[in-house]
Chains A and B, each alone.
Chain A
């Protein structure tokens, strides 16, 4: 299976362990990621905070490039990129912005490619097929599935799962043989892009998320977002320092857990490059 792939800036920057994990895991499942040629940044929070039109135009350029490359499906592993792409498609369909955006981005735009998040890629592969190829069931793993904000919100843009009580990630994790816990913070925000500019907020929110996962018996967290990973993994030591805790929760990308169950090594998946690693 070939799918269009929009990595976004994080996966080519400090979250390149996420891309390593995706390529190793999905490669094993015969999914080939075909990178959109000459993609550009989606504008992220900065664009939608500062310039509404720009926040539609930057994703529109990427949608047009993906269409030009012939990708019917476009996988965007970062939920912010993914949501911005979907929001742009919605604006094209609903507000008749297709012509104006095509002119702005100098490319014909249809807005009809199917934008996918990581959970949807696994759903398309098929959870039964996944179960069938598991080599090493993850019996010791008790995971808190963390969706964060944008996998399920805004619901009228992303149309994915239940935005208060999502369960799709748990279904994927169950296929690996791991257990999951019921907990309270699976759709609470981690502070996202405030990592540098407002660290207080990030540490406060990350502390609540990590503590709640631990209190419900999880021995790790699972995410499908590069920013969630930064705030919960890289910032975990700062959380421990500020709040006097000894949290040591490994934060896996969803593709890490699936990859481990498929028999791929932690090194091949890039898990050894996380900040919090198994003792």
Chain B
């Protein structure tokens, strides 16, 4: 009897070697599938896999399915899952690590191109300017989505907002940039080096 029980217990394995080492710090192995993360998630209904399912995949060493999910890009990083988890699993931290790995391994869901293009354009923008230049971000993001998905309509979406923003003095053609942009570029370079093993 004791032996049977032992056989049914999920072995605690180390996570897949291509997942970041920091994943262990999220305590995802402690999840016992109560589903509280998914119950409180404001976007769970839009996800192909729910937060608790993603964690289960990691426990079962099937991180590939998690990395290819669209769910990790639907996540709005509201932190409700992590705040409520009775086992202190940092589910929002798991989402961050899945996104980072999904991109670096080239596994990101193509259906989520817009969200990924936006975040990429955002980071490129602050690397160049030190601070966000909103109009430049919007222009480059829209061009990327139109070019890569063929959704030309995106170029004109919200165009009617521009004069309204301008009327409210919320558009800045010449945004303030950080003076020391060299250091920003060097910080980006240092943070992009592969981890030393």
Contacts and interface: CB of A to CB of B under 8 A. Distances in A.
Nearest to B182: A106
Contacts of B168: 17, 273-275
A50 B102 CA distance: 9
A46 B191 contact: no
Looking at A41, A154, A189, the one whose CB has the most chain B CB atoms below 10 A away is A41
Given A38-B180, A57-B187, A201 B192 contact: no
A104 B119 contact: no
B103 A50 contact: yes
Contact of A9 (B132, B165, B184, B192): B132
B183 A189 contact: no
Interface stretch (A26-34, A109-117, A130-138, A191-199): A191-199
B103 to A, nearest CB: 6
A94 B153 CA distance: 48
B97 to A, nearest CB: 7
A106 B76 CA distance: 32
B130 A41 contact: yes
Name the interface size band of chain B: 35 or more
A13 interface: yes
A189 to B, nearest CB: 4
B39 interface: no
A160 interface: no
A257 to B, nearest CB: 20
Interface in A105-151: 105-106, 149-150
B161 A234 contact: yes
Interface string B142-176: 00000000000000001001001100111110011
Contacts of A38: 178-180
Contact of B170 (A48, A201, A273): A273
B119 A46 contact: yes
A49 B188 CA distance: 15
A223 to B, nearest CB: 15
B79 interface: yes
Contact of B78 (A104, A153, A196): A153
A163 B83 contact: yes
A189 B188 contact: no
B52 interface: no
Looking at A150, A189, A273, A275, the one whose CB has the most chain B CB atoms below 10 A away is A189
25 contacts: A13-B134, A39-B178, A45-B122, A46-B118, A46-B122, A48-B77, A49-B77, A49-B96, A52-B20, A57-B187, A58-B126, A61-B187, A103-B190, A149-B77, A149-B80, A154-B90, A163-B83, A193-B76, A194-B115, A196-B138, A197-B114, A197-B115, A198-B74, A273-B169, A273-B170
Interface of A: 9-10, 12-17, 38-41, 43-54, 57-58, 61, 103-106, 149-150, 153-155, 163, 187-189, 191-194, 196-198, 200-201, 205, 234, 273-275
Given A61-B187, A149-B78, A205-B42, 13 more contacts: A13-B134, A38-B178, A41-B126, A46-B119, A47-B123, A54-B192, A57-B187, A153-B82, A154-B90, A189-B80, A192-B77, A197-B117, A201-B43
Interface of B: 20, 22, 42-43, 46, 74, 76-80, 82-83, 90, 92, 96-97, 99-100, 103, 114-115, 117-120, 122-123, 126, 130-132, 134, 138, 141, 158, 161, 164-165, 168-172, 175-176, 178-180, 183-184, 186-188, 190-192
